[in-house]
Structure 1
Amino acid sequence: MLVTYLEASRELCETDSILFGAALALCRIIGAKLSTAGRATGQSSAIPAWRIRIEERIAKARALIGRLMCFRSGNTRPRIVRTVRMAFAGINVSLSQPDIMQKLTERIDDQKQRIAA
């Protein structure tokens, strides 16, 4: 039966699909696991990779804005404080400085501008 399909296949892609299907069927019969990781199925996502990356960056920026606003409104939970420290990493800013609210507002505005761009 497999010979019939292989003789009828015209392209390498078709032959590959037939052989993979046969191997998959055989593995199911004998109870073996077959990894499909790394196999090119020929089906690509309808959304381009660059768009997915941009949407992920926007989601991260929105999450950061939300946590910075929580800290600005008085939420000092450890996760929020850790996020605020990460947002100001590389800049010599202490969270106990008197002008921290102004710096928070500036950082929130910067993130909003990055989203809008």
Structure 2
Amino acid sequence: MDLLVVVDSDDDKMVSHELEQMRSKLEEAILKTRSMPFENRPRLLRIPISGQNRSVVRSLNPMLVTYLEASQDLCETDLILFGAAVAVCRIKCAKLPMAGCATKQSRAIPA
């Protein structure tokens, strides 16, 4: 699948090799998300707003067009966008906690 990549002038430091790696991570994340039950999706982390993070998102946006145009319903669109969010986390090397994994529980008494 050939995708057209449009790079903003702010992103001119990214070379095509980096964009291909990003595309690969995006495709992998979307494929994994499609085959994964909703309950098993990883929890997404909040990534801070920065110029570098925005650059990653701006670079992935044109890559999503092909997937979104082929989307047939809202559920599929949700899977694509969730896969894109997972890809951004992976590109930024954020470790995603898997759903259903034991998490550290607070011993504080709820208000």
Q: What TM-score do the two structures reach when normalised by structure 2?
A: 0.30
Tell me: higher relative CO, structure 1 or 2? Use CA pairs within 8 A at least 6 residues apart. Answer: 2
